[in-house]
């Protein structure tokens, strides 16, 4: 009953309903589409807003409060891709390139899933630590590097060695990393006074922008629904069951390091999410032989809709159970 209550609450949020509308628009072949550049603009807004708000909260957080969650986040984004790679190669029988590509996506994080998790908790008036956006920034890049190391440790020629420069440049100068880290630094330096200046643009309108973004993501997801027919039973099961396992790992670790119930749920959601912005860009350069039909279908058409609909209430219910709430 607890899961059902949380599920109904989540399915009634405007964010999820906008995502669903985008899928429906694609299925019925509507002419609804966003103007060129609007998707990029919304992405820039959301990532920068998350970074700014997280930086302000980090400004008010002591190192003693933050160092355990930061170390836990690093542990998760190193361990999860290693586990994913092992499962995909041993049981899924994927070649090293596609297994590493999937591991990179599932080890990294989704800023949109993170934003929806915060909105979901806010709608239920459940509190969480203000520095959670900092964990989002910490977890975005390391997992991708770990996955790439799995197939790049013994390069066959100099061209593979030189490709690391391109990979690192893409990871650390890509808009996702730059906006999150840049926003965190700006918010942390400017603090409360800075927050008063940017709040009118980045606080109140944030939910509305998130709704628009999810509408566009729904349209993009709808275009990939046909790929589900080719995904296979293993990939479909992996795209649902592995996030649940990762979420439980993150939830338990969150409780062990002293996070609140809401904070642990957010950390579990980060662990369960799969990147579809930073990871695809890096994989495209580093592992060109990996199939986008596999890793994009898994992260965007399977895991993202699952997390957005069923995953969030499920992770909250597990978090409540762990904390005895």
Q: How far is Cα 18 from Cα 20, in angstroms, rounded to an integer?
A: 5
Which residue in the block uniquely carries the two structure tokens 């890509």?
174
Give me 128's structure tokens.
């969480």
CA torsion 212-267-176-88 (nearest 10°) is -100
CATH of domain 1-323: 1.20.1530.20
pLDDT tens digits, 58-79: 898 888 999 999 999 999 999 9
Q: Say which residues have a Cβ less than 8 Å from residue 314's Cβ, sequence separation at least 6.
A: 3, 6, 7, 244, 247
Measured from the Cβ of residue 72, the count of other Cβ atoms closer than 10 Å reads 22
State yes or no: pLDDT of 154 exceeds 80: no
Per-residue pLDDT tens digits for 19-33: 999 999 999 999 999
Q: How far apart are CA 216 and CA 150, in angstroms?
A: 34
Q: Are 292 and 229 in contact (CB under 8 A)?
A: no
**Which residues lie closer than 8 Å to 271 by C-beta, 6 or more apart?**
76, 80, 246, 247, 249, 250, 251
What are the extents of the domains in the chain?
1-323
What is the distance between the alpha carbons of residues 111 and 105, in angstroms, rounded to a whole number?
A: 13
Burial class (CB in 10 A: 0-12, 13-18, 19+), 252: middle
pLDDT digits (tens, 9 = 90+) for 30-60: 999 999 889 889 999 999 999 999 999 889 8
Record the tokens describing residue 59, joined without a space.
Answer: 């400004």
Q: For residue 133, which of 245, 50, 12, 197 has the smallest C-alpha distance?
A: 50
> Which residue's entry shows tokens 């409780």?
255
Q: What confidence score (pLDDT) does residue 139 get?
A: 92
| Predicted confidence (pLDDT) at residue 319 exceeds the cutoff of 70 | yes
pLDDT at res. 299: 95
Write down the pLDDT at residue 258. 96
Rounded mean pLDDT, 186-201: 92
Confidence of residue 276 (pLDDT cuts 50, 70, 90): confident
For the chain, percent of residues with pLDDT exceeding 70:
96
Q: Which two tokens stand for residue 233?
A: 């039973």
Q: How high is the pLDDT of residue 37? A: 87
Residue 217 predicted with pLDDT over 70? yes
pLDDT value of residue 236 = 95
Q: For the segment 71-113, what is each residue's pLDDT rounded down to a tens digit?
A: 999 999 999 999 999 999 999 999 999 999 999 999 999 999 9
Could you please report the per-residue DSSP string of 217-262? Answer: HHHHHHHTGGGHHHH-HHHHHHHHHHHHHHHHHHHHHHHHTT--HH
- Residue 235 and residue 303 in contact, taking contact as beta carbons nearer than 8 Å: no
Output the average pLDDT for the chain.
90
- Contact indicator for 144, 277 with CB cutoff of 8 Å: no
Half-sphere exposure in the Cβ direction for 162 (13 Å, CA): 3
In the structure, what pLDDT confidence band is assigned to residue 177 with cuts at 50, 70 and 90?
A: confident
Which residue matches tokens 């998130």? 210
Segment 296-310 mean pLDDT: 94
CA nearest to 275, candidates 113, 117, 71, 100? 113
Among 140-144, 153-157, 230-234, 262-266, the minimum mean pLDDT is found in 153-157
Closest CA to 46 of 15, 70, 12: 15
């Amino acid at each position: 009953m607890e899961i059902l209550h949380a599920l109904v609450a989540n399915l009634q949020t405007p964010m999820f309903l906008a995502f669903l509308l985008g899928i429906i628009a694609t299925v019925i072949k509507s002419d609804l589409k966003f103007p060129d550049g609007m998707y990029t603009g919304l992405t820039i807004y959301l990532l920068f807003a998350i970074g700014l708000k997280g930086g302000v909260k980090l400004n008010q957080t002591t190192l003693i409060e933050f160092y355990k969650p930061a170390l836990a986040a690093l542990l998760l984004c190193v361990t999860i891709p290693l586990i994913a790679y092992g499962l995909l190669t041993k049981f899924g029988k994927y070649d090293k390139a596609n297994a590493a590509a999937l591991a990179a996506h599932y080890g990294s994080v989704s800023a949109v899933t993170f934003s929806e998790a915060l909105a979901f908790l806010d709608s239920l008036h459940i509190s969480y630590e203000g520095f959670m956006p900092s964990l989002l920034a910490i977890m975005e890049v390391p997992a991708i590097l770990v996955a790439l190391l799995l197939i790049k440790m013994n390069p066959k020629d100099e061209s593979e060695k030189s490709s690391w420069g391109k990979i690192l440049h893409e990871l650390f100068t890509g808009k996702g990393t730059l906006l999150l880290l840049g926003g965190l630094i700006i918010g942390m330096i400017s603090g409360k006074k800075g927050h008063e200046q940017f709040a009118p643009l980045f606080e109140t309108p944030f939910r509305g922008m998130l709704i628009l973004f999810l509408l566009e993501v729904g349209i993009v997801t709808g275009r990939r629904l046909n790929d589900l027919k080719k995904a296979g039973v293993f990939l479909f099961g992996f795209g649902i069951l592995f996030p649940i396992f990762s979420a439980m790992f993150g939830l338990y670790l969150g409780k062990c390091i002293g996070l609140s119930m809401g904070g642990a749920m957010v950390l579990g959601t980060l662990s369960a999410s799969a990147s579809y912005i930073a990871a695809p860009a890096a994989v495209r350069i580093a592992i060109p032989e990996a199939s986008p039909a596999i890793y994009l279908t898994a992260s965007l058409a399977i895991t993202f809709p699952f997390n957005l609909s069923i995953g969030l209430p499920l992770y909250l219910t597990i978090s409540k159970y762990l904390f005895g709430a």
